[in-house]
Every structure is written in C-alpha cells, then in structure tokens.
C-alpha cells in the first residue's frame, strides 16, 4: 500500500487545544496601575520599537463572543479573518511592535476564563512577539481613557524608545458606525493622536464608512466670560468681614477658585471634605466670623435648606441692617456681607472634569480620588439655584473657563468616559 502525503498546515491556521501548552506567553505580575487594574502580558520577547501597531482584540483580531459567557465559550476563539495572523507576521517583520489593547471589565470568574484564552491565541502566533494590555475595571485604563497608552509609553521609555505617533496606528471595531456597539476605539486613537482603522479598512481594504462620536466633548462648550456679571468684584474694595457661600456641582473649580482669589486675600477656607461634617463647618465659620475674619464655605450647597444653615448662622451672630437692595449685617460694629458664588456648568462637564482630575491630569501627584457618579445625580436631582431672596447680598456666577498649561489642556480636551458608547 502506498503511503499518502500529509499536507503541512502553517501554525497560523491551526488552533491549539485548551489542553496544549503555550509556554511562550506569560501574564506579568503585578498588574499595572495604582490598583493593579491593567493586566499586562507578553508573548515571546517583544521588542520596543518606535513604530506601534495596536489592535483591539475581540471583533478585530478574533471574533467576538461576548454574548456567551459560559466556561466552554471562554476558551473558544476564531481569527476575525484568515488574513489576520498573516498581517501580524508581516508587521513584525517590518519592525512594528505588536500591541493588543482590550477592555475587559468582567466579573472575576469571567476574567479568569478570558485570561486563559490569550495563551491559546499566542500559540497560534509562534513567530510573532506581542504585548497585551487589558483594562479590568472602569477606570483610567479603560478605552477611550489614555491610561493604557500612557503605560505603554512608560514601558517603552524604560527601554530608551520613544513611540513615533506618526508611524503608529490602532485598529478597532468600536468605531461609531451604524451597527457598532460603541465608538470607544476611534475615540481612543483620537485621544492618543495616532491613525485609526476599522478591521474592514485595515484587513480587507474596504472603504471607510460614515460614523458619529456620541457623548460629551469639550469642543461643544460655549465660550463664556469667567464672571457673570463680567464686571463683578471677586474681592470687594470695601473693608469688612464677609461670608461667601459657594454653590455648584462637584468638579467645577470651586477649590481652585478659592486658592487663586480668596486664599491670597486672607479668607478662611471651610470645606466639608476636609473637616468631615456640616457641624464642623458651621463651627469653623462661627469662629472665623467672631474673630472678624472673612470665610468661604467651599461645598456644593445644592439647595435652599443647606444654604440656610449658613445664613441663619450669620443672623444669629448679627443685627440685620437693610441698605437699599443690599442686605448686610453688623456684628460688633463690623459690617458683614453674605454673598453667594454660583459655579455654572452642566453635569456632563462636571463628570468630565472628575474623570480628568482622577485619571488623566498629567501630574500624577495632582490626581484626586474619583467622585462616584451617584453624587452628581444626587446634586442634579436636588439642585435649587441660589436666589437673592434667600438673604444673599449678591450672587456672582462663575462660568467654567479652563486654566492650565498646554499639556493640561491637551489632556483635558480628550474624549473622557469609563462607560457608555
């Protein structure tokens, strides 16, 4: 009997079984980030080069199976198209660093299953070194937030390599097209300033399709003066003690406004985040006013009952005197003015600023803890615009006007979101 010749199949087109070993891939420990939420793995020994070819994973390199979270499905995968592994090999030969970028905010059980899939994919790419970064939480690493790219730049810099953005690109399927589930891949490429392609454009050479980028972006903000009325005095010319009550969403610049204007003028800063309770804020205000020191209550002060606590405190300390349309009080022959400064801006803007200062500010030392979204919803649902009839002598509106360095402005102007399309 004559023996049959067995056709050799390139490993690109064979899929290792779940039982096969895939020792070329390893998940590095610890994961990246202050809370270890950015998973980091390597196949073989990837070299850092100025040219980066970055790819989303599900729906781009492999077919997506997000709808099936079973144990069996966790290890099942298929190339998005047969041309994908061939193209990855070509890019490696052309000197590109191959990077996989993925959002994987999954429950731990599903995340553990997903992680087991990556060595199987790497085994089908025996000659292609690559690096994978995966955001496992809804934080600054999740696309379109720039955290994974920031980490990549840091890793490359440790190797003495600066990424050439003009020679680099990103391929992803969340592109804002009619049937796309999101636009976060395209937004991510815009944020980090590299070229973007859909899988159809890159692997199949199909023409680009129309797209939209939903959600909040700072380019849509109106250009407004800082103050309303524009000629309002932040610090009065006349000597005297005053109580200033701030009001507005979190993250609209209240504390920064205090530091720039009221701090240098000697005002006492009263803030519930610092002091811990309203009663302590009330006590601090009383101590300052009795000492003849002006003070600023730097809280959100969202409604009339909240602001009334401070107005009642002033009334308790003083004898009321009315002068034309200006309501003032006198304490120990010192005229006291009670003003309200309202910080104006939408909830979308406030949330954007929250994400910026928690995750994106270029100075890591200047970053703050994220404020939960529910706090913004609570403010919006209970907000009452300040009125003179509450007892304020003046209400000044402060519009959001970005102030910062060019680098800070560049990062503040990114598409910032940790959820949604």
Structure confidence by residue, pLDDT tens digits, 369-420: 999 999 999 999 999 999 999 999 999 999 999 999 999 999 999 999 999 9
pLDDT at 16 over 90: no
pLDDT of residue 238: 76
Confidence check: pLDDT of 159 > 70: yes
- What pLDDT does residue 149 have? 99
Task: Read off the tokens for 199.
Answer: 């899988």
SS3 343: strand
CA separation for the pair 191, 232 (Å, rounded): 37
CATH code linked to domain 227-412? 3.40.50.300
d(CA 235, CA 176): 47
| Torsion of Cα atoms, 127 then 133 then 136 then 139, to 10° | -170
Highest mean pLDDT among 147-161, 306-320, 325-339: 147-161
pLDDT at 232 over 70: yes
pLDDT tier at 1, thresholds 50, 70, 90: very low
The CATH architecture one would assign to domain 23-204 is 3-Layer(aba) Sandwich (3.40)
Q: Evaluate if residue 237 carries a pLDDT over 60.
A: yes
Question: What is the Cα–Cα distance from 129 to 261, expressed in whole angstroms?
Answer: 54
Compare 21 and 149 and report the one with higher pLDDT. Answer: 149
Predicted model pTM: 0.88
**Mean pLDDT over residues 245-263, rounded?**
97
Q: What is the pLDDT of residue 325?
A: 32
User: 97 with 53: CB under 8 angstroms?
Assistant: yes
- Annotated domain spans of the chain: 23-204, 227-412
Q: Is a pLDDT exceeding 90 seen at residue 207?
A: yes
Residue 231 in this model has a pLDDT that exceeds 80: yes
To the nearest whole number, what is the mean pLDDT of the chain?
90
- Tokens 């609570």 — which residue? 378
Which residue(s) pair with 242 in the sheet?
337
- Is a pLDDT exceeding 60 seen at residue 8? no
| Burial of 69 (C-beta count, 10 Å sphere; 0-12/13-18/19+) | middle
Residues 111-158: tens digit of each pLDDT? 999 999 999 999 999 999 999 999 999 999 999 999 999 999 999 999
What six digits make up the tokens of 403? 């102030």
């Amino acid at each position: 009997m004559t023996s049959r010749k067995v056709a050799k199949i390139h490993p690109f087109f064979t899929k290792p079984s779940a039982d096969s070993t895939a020792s070329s891939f390893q998940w590095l420990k610890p994961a990246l980030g202050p809370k270890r939420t950015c998973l980091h793995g390597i196949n073989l020994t990837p070299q850092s080069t100025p040219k980066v070819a970055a790819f989303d994973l599900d729906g781009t390199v492999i077919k997506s199976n997000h709808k099936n979270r079973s144990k069996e499905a966790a290890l099942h995968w298929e190339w998005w198209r047969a041309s994908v592994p061939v193209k990855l090999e070509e890019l490696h030969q052309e000197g590109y660093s191959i990077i996989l970028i993925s959002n994987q905010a999954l429950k731990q059980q599903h995340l553990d299953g997903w992680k087991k899939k990556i060595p199987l994919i790497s085994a089908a790419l025996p000659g292609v070194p690559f690096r994978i970064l995966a955001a496992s939480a809804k934080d600054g690493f999740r696309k379109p937030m720039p955290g994974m790219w920031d980490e990549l730049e840091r890793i490359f810099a440790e190797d003495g390599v600066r990424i050439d953005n003009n020679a680099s690109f990103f391929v992803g399927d969340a592109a804002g097209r009619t049937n796309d589930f999101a636009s976060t891949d395209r937004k991510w490429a815009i944020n980090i300033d590299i070229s973007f392609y859909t899988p159809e454009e890159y692997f199949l050479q199909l023409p680009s399709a129309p797209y939209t980028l939903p959600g909040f972006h700072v380019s849509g903000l109106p250009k407004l003066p800082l103050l309303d009325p524009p000629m309002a005095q932040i610090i009065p010319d006349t000597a005297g003690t005053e109580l200033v009550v701030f009001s507005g969403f979190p993250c609209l610049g209240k504390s920064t406004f205090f530091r720039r204007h009221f701090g240098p003028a000697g005002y006492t800063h009263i803030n519930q985040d610092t002091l811990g309770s309203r009663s302590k804020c009330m006590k601090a205000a009383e101590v300052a006013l009795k000492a003849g020191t002006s003070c600023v209550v730097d809280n959100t002060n969202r409604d009339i009952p909240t602001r009334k606590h401070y107005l009642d405190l002033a009334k308790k300390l003083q004898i009321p005197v009315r002068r034309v349309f200006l309501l003032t009080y006198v304490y120990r022959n010192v005229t006291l003015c009670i003003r309200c400064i309202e910080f104006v801006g939408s909830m979308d803007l406030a949330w954007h600023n929250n994400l910026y200062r928690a995750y994106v500010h270029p100075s890591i030392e200047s970053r703050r803890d994220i404020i939960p979204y529910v706090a913004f919803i609570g403010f919006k649902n209970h907000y009452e615009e300040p009125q003179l009839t509450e007892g304020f002598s003046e209400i000044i509106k402060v519009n959001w006007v970005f102030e910062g360095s060019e680098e800070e402005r560049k990062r503040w102007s990114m598409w910032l979101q940790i959820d949604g399309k």
